[in-house]
Amino acid sequence: MKRFTGVMMVAALAAGLVAGCKPSTETAKSPEGAAKPKVVLGVSLLTMANPFFKDMADSMQQEAKKYGYEVIVTAGEMDPSRQKDQVGDFIVKKVNAIILAPCDSKSIGTSIQEANKAGIPVFTADIACLDKNAKVVTHVATDNYSGGKLAGEAMVKLLGGKGKVAIIDHPEVESVILRTKGFREVVSKSPGIQIVAQLPGGGARDVSFKTAQDILEKNPDLQGIFAINDPSALGAVAALEKAGRKGKVKVVGFDGQPEAKQAVKDGKIDADAIQFPDKIGVGVVDAVSRYLAGEKVPAQSLIPTALYTKAEADKDPKLAGGAPKA
Partner 1 sequence: MSENARATLSRFVSAYGMLAVLVLLCVYFSWATYHEESATGPEAAQGVARVIVASGKRPSVVVVAPASDAGFGQDLAAALKQQGIPVVGTLQGGPPEVREGLEALSKSGRRIDMVAAPESCASWTVFDALRKQVSSLANLEVVTPTTQGRSAFLSPSNLRNVADQIAVIALMAVGMTLVIVTAGIDLSVGSLLALSAVVTAWFIHAWGGTSASTGAMLAASLIAIAMSGLVGGFSGLMITTFDIPPFIATLAMMQVASGLAFLVARGQSIYDLPDSFTWLGRGTGVAALPNAALLMVAVYIVAHLVMMRTTFGRHIYAVGGGPEAARLSGLRTKRLLMQVYLLSGVMAGVGGVVTASQLKAGAPTYGQSYELYVIAAVVVGGTSLSGGEGRILGTLIGAFTIAVIRNGMNLMNVEPYTQKVVLGLVILAAVLLDRMKRRWWR
* Chain positions contacting partner 1, by CB under 8 A: 1-4, 6-8, 10-11, 13-15, 17-19, 21, 23-25, 27, 36-39, 48, 72-75, 78-81, 84-86, 88-89, 91-94, 96, 103-107, 109-111, 117-119, 121, 130-131, 137, 172, 289, 291-297
CB 303 within 8 A of CB 275: yes
Closer Cβ to partner 1, 93 or 162, answer by number: 93
Closer Cβ to partner 1, 211 or 305, answer by number: 211
As measured in angstroms, the least distance from the Cβ of 141 to partner 1 is: 19
As measured in angstroms, the least distance from the Cβ of 9 to partner 1 is: 9
Q: In angstroms, rounded to a whole number, what is the distance separating the alpha carbons of residues 17 and 278? A: 34
Closer Cβ to partner 1, 54 or 245, answer by number: 54
Q: In angstroms, rounded to a whole number, what is the distance separating the alpha carbons of residues 79 and 141? A: 21
> Hey, which residues does 251 pair with through a beta bridge?
225
CA 323 to chain centre: 29
As measured in angstroms, the least distance from the Cβ of 150 to partner 1 is: 28
Closer Cβ to partner 1, 74 or 211, answer by number: 74
Closer Cβ to partner 1, 7 or 306, answer by number: 7
Considering only CA atoms, which of 147, 152, 120, 119 is closest in space to residue 44?
Answer: 120
Closer Cβ to partner 1, 152 or 281, answer by number: 281
DSSP string across 47-100: -SSSHHHHHHHHHHHHHHHHHT-EEEEEE-TT-HHHHHHHHHHHHHHT-SEEEE
As measured in angstroms, the least distance from the Cβ of 7 to partner 1 is: 4
Closer Cβ to partner 1, 117 or 325, answer by number: 117
Tabulate helix, strand, coil % of the chain (nearest 5): 45, 20, 35
Considering only CA atoms, which of 96, 110, 40 is closest in space to residue 68?
Answer: 40
Strand order in the sheet with 306-309: 193-200, 163-169, 222-227, 250-255, 271-274, 306-309
As measured in angstroms, the least distance from the Cβ of 147 to partner 1 is: 23
As measured in angstroms, the least distance from the Cβ of 142 to partner 1 is: 22
CB 121 within 8 A of CB 291: yes
Q: In angstroms, rounded to a whole number, what is the distance separating the alpha carbons of residues 250 and 246? A: 8
As measured in angstroms, the least distance from the Cβ of 145 to partner 1 is: 22
Residue 133 belongs to what H/E stretch? Answer: none
